[in-house]
Amino acid sequence: MSRQSNNPNSTPRSTSLRQLLALPTYLKTAFQNRFFNRHLGNHAVETYYALAEACIIGIVSALAALLLKQGIGALGRFRLYSVNHWGVWILPVFGFIFCWSAGWLVEYLSPAAKGSGIPQVKAALAKFPVPLSLRVALVKMLGTTLILGAGLTLGRRGPTVHIGAALAAGLSDWVPTSPQHRRQMIAAGAAAGLAAGFNTPIAGVLFVVEELSRDMSGLTLETAILASFTGSVVSRLLGSADLNFTSTLLTPVMADEFTAVDIPFYFLLGALAGGLGVLFNQGILTSLALNRRWKWSMAWRMGVVGLVSGLIIAFAPPVFRNNAGLRDFLITEEVGMQQTSLVFLAHFSLTLLVYGTGAPGGVFAPALVLGLALGYWVGGIKALLIGAASTTPYALVGMGAFFTAVARVPVTAIVIVFELTGNFSLVLPLMIGSVMAYGVAETLKTGSLYQHLLEASGIPLRDEDNSYDFLSNLRAGDVMQRQVETLEAHVTVEDTFQFFSGSVHHGFPVVDDGKLVGLVTEAHLAELGRKSWQLPLQEVMTMRPVTVQPYAPLSDVLYLMDRYQISHLPVTEGRRLVGIITRSDLIHATADRLSARQLPREKQPEPSYVVYQHRAPATGSGRLLVPLANPETVAALLKIAVAIARERRLEIECLHIVTVPRHLSPAQVDADLQESFQLFDQASAIAQAWDVPLHVQIRIAHDTALAVLETINERHINLLLMGWKGSTSTPGRIFGDVVDTLIHQAGCDVLLVKLGNPPHAYPLPSATPSTWVIPMAGGPNVKRALQLLPALSLLANSPHMMLCQVYSPDEKAFDLTALEDAATRLKSKLATEVTALPVRSQSVSEAVLRLAEEENSDLVIMGASRESLLKQALNGNIPEAIASGLQCTVILVRSALE
């Protein structure tokens, strides 16, 4: 079951970049080790500390905006210089190279850096676990520089918002902070990023309040204002915001007065902007959906789109080669109606084409350019119908109206254009156009582009409920204890007292034949003292206790525990007990979610996708999971599984996992399932012969181990049985990548089976004599292995069981009590020969190997104690040494994690 890593990050070409990206983590660790328990840790919640951090965030965001601008400008100048010397055919070459490089960076170093970044910031502020870190900021900056340097029609203002928020999140990770403080700093970083990109401090704050956060609390607003102001001042001093229009360009506006005749045309402009803005948003979503169907990697998709865009720009008029020049070209009225229509159509189409690939770039600038073209076109219509008039006011109002239709932020749009122009006479036209655009757009399709992008990503964030309650996303199955101590209904009151005295828990579910029938807690102890000690527990327990299903939201759990004043809440599936929730479990779950450590790591695989499933009646007391992969071992593994299921009244869950590359979404892959159904046919025949319920499912996944863990959690698995080849070629691993992960993370019992070489390996034909060797090392895992012997003996003919314990040759006296007691208990349960055998040896593995070979054993069963056996395995790898050195079957047992 071990496999070689297919992680693209392990390729040599990305090693140096990953080392560079790991530098902030190293510095952060060193910083925290130095200051965590000192001044910063003691004063992290003070208001003055938050304001000081907001100033730092504003400065850093402005410097990042300057660096981004200079990088894009340098690449753009080099591109135009190359066109002048080598011709327009160099444009598609640059488009392909730069875009492919940006795609590779985003795909393999930080997938969270794709797109404009504003949806990610919006989700993070709503408390969704979205990655925001220094790595995201760095990759976003590099990717945006390459994309815009290639001449593509995206903008850098959205990325500056994302970069500012990511830098703020990274800074808040360096010092002790609360989740609410971290959220306030992310909002401040977003405001500073927008203010630095546009040189519009007021609009930066309004955009956070109107679109991203909608949090008007005092400290959030104060930090956002301070960071926005600081970022704008630094940006103005350094000249990183070049979108402001000069007075020369706006001279016609100064001379043109707003009159009543203009009102119908501004309404027309707003209506057109609203309708076309909705069409633009829908085009973005459609382009993204079409790109997801491509099986190419992100780098190649972006490279091809860069090539196509370069070809289109090469054949277009020269003004298209410089997006900033195109904006000034429209403002100065040097184009006609036909040219304006061409600009609009070309910019509209190219933006949809590029954004659909997930390229790191924003839609702020494209929306403003499209609004300019549309406003110029409406102004031209007015000039044709009424007479000569300046079209510049219409072009500027069109900017605000189209941006409103896309982002649904009319106030921010009005303030942005006003701050860019500094002309108060534009406020009334802007209000008319923006409000009209907002009304038309909301009538046609509710919600901003960013909200729809989040919904397409699986984040159902609504504007009316922008504060995401993370507890409502938790389910009972996420917080419950899966390994539950239970009492049988027929035990006596005296037995109950003894059980409580020997346990650290304060309450226990009561079961009858695996089904929940009641609950007993310490509150019953006083009553039990007045009862006859020989009464059965079922007469004093709480009958029909309050329960929840595993998929019940945590809010329901809290309500039930508060409403009925209960401290223990059983979790059931039907009547089958699958877990229990206590008040301490709720505290731990809340603390874990509030902790910043719960944010997902970069490049975490997508969840697996169930493409096929078949359910049998749920008649068992639990479930046994068998991942199927090798057709040659399916029959033997299923025989062992059905024997265990038959003896313990379990249902069998067969799982086949189809792995796909990381750049493909498991939910969108059209996989060949023929092999899966062939495996299920074998499993079905064996299960029917033993009359055991069989469930089957097929999952498409990036990672095999994670898919198995998801199945364990979703299907409430009690026992995992899987094949193991007995060795691993992965350095640093005991059992192999997949098996190591499951050994350490699977909450249920785990059985690893290394099948031996027939015909002298378990399971043998029914008439063949059988000899088993069971090394005894103590602990819960050996006990669990002994509990499985009755089930495993169903596939053998009265096996001779040899319980051996290895002692050091230096030991003078052996304590054989535990060994002999285990042998006695086995003899009483099984009508078979059981031998207790102490062995002297310096090496555990050599002793077991020698004994198994001398006795011609067909099965060796070991308990994988994490405290002893696995710890020794780090030095000598005892399980692998035994399994690889034997020709017989080896079963390794690890009991459920507590």
CB 230 within 8 A of CB 58: yes
Q: At 174, which amino acid appears?
A: W
**Cα-flanking dihedrals φ and ψ of residue 799, to 5°?**
-65, 145
Q: Do domains 13-468 and 471-597 have the same CATH topology?
A: no
pLDDT computed for residue 278 by the predictor: 94
pLDDT computed for residue 873 by the predictor: 40
**Cα-flanking dihedrals φ and ψ of residue 488, to 5°?**
-80, 150
CB 524 within 8 A of CB 566: no
CB 188 within 8 A of CB 177: no
User: Beta 623-628 vs 651-659: how paired, if at all?
Assistant: parallel
CATH architecture of 609-723: 3-Layer(aba) Sandwich (3.40)
Alpha-carbon distance of 785 to 862, in angstroms, equals 7
User: Beta 889-894 vs 749-754: how paired, if at all?
Assistant: antiparallel
Q: What is the number of residues in the chain? A: 898
CB 361 within 8 A of CB 355: yes
Q: Which residues pair with 700 in a beta bridge?
A: 609, 658
Q: Which two tokens stand for residue 789?
A: 């012997």
Residues (pLDDT < 50) of the chain are 1-14, 31-46, 246-255, 464-467, 596-602, 729-734, 866-877
Pick the CATH number of 769-894 from 3.30.1600.10, 3.40.50.620, 3.40.50.300, 1.10.357.10: 3.40.50.620
Alpha-carbon distance of 52 to 172, in angstroms, equals 12
Three-class DSSP category at 625: strand
**Roughly how many angstroms between the first and final C-alpha of the chain, as a whole number?**
25
pLDDT, tens digit, for every residue of 593-615? Answer: 665 444 444 456 788 999 999 99
CATH code, residues 471-597: 3.10.580.10
pTM equals 0.57
- CA torsion 561-564-566-572 (nearest 10°) is -70
Cα atoms found within 13 Å of the Cα of residue 114, Cβ hemisphere only: 27
Residue 530: count other Cβ atoms within 10 Å of its Cβ.
7
Alpha-carbon distance of 13 to 17, in angstroms, equals 8
Three-class DSSP category at 175: coil
pLDDT computed for residue 419 by the predictor: 79
Q: Whose CA is closest to 858, among 763, 792, 727, 786?
A: 763
* Residue with tokens 């984040």, as numbered in its chain: 459
pLDDT, tens digit, for every residue of 639-677? Answer: 999 999 999 889 999 999 999 888 788 888 888 899 999
CB 499 within 8 A of CB 487: yes
Q: Which two tokens stand for residue 169?
A: 């999140």
* Residue with tokens 């676990």, as numbered in its chain: 129
Check residue 116 and give left, alpha or beta (phi > 0: left; psi -120 to 50: alpha). alpha
Alpha-carbon distance of 777 to 783, in angstroms, equals 10
Residue 819: count other Cβ atoms within 10 Å of its Cβ.
18
What CATH class has 13-468? mainly alpha
Q: At 683, which amino acid appears?
A: A
pLDDT computed for residue 255 by the predictor: 45
pLDDT computed for residue 286 by the predictor: 92
DSSP H stretches of helix in 503-626: 525-529, 554-563, 583-594
Alpha-carbon distance of 706 to 895, in angstroms, equals 19
Those residues whose C-beta lies under 8 Å from the C-beta of residue 646, and which sit 6 or more positions away, are: 690, 691, 692, 791, 794
Strands in 212-288 per DSSP E: none
pLDDT computed for residue 43 by the predictor: 42
- Dump the DSSP string for 322-365: -HHHHHHHHHTT-S-HHHHHHHHHHHHHHHHHHHTTT-S-BSHH
Burial label, 597 (beta-carbon count in 10 A; 0-12, 13-18, 19+): exposed
Cα 46 to Cα 190, 732, 734, distances in angstroms: 21, 45, 48
Residue 414: count other Cβ atoms within 10 Å of its Cβ.
26
> Over the Cα atoms of the chain, what is R_g?
34
Ranges of each domain in the chain: 13-468, 471-597, 609-723, 769-894
pLDDT computed for residue 232 by the predictor: 78
Q: Nearest 5 degrees, angle CA 312-CA 315-CA 318? A: 105
Q: Which two tokens stand for residue 583?
A: 């008040």
Q: Which two tokens stand for residue 211?
A: 């679109």
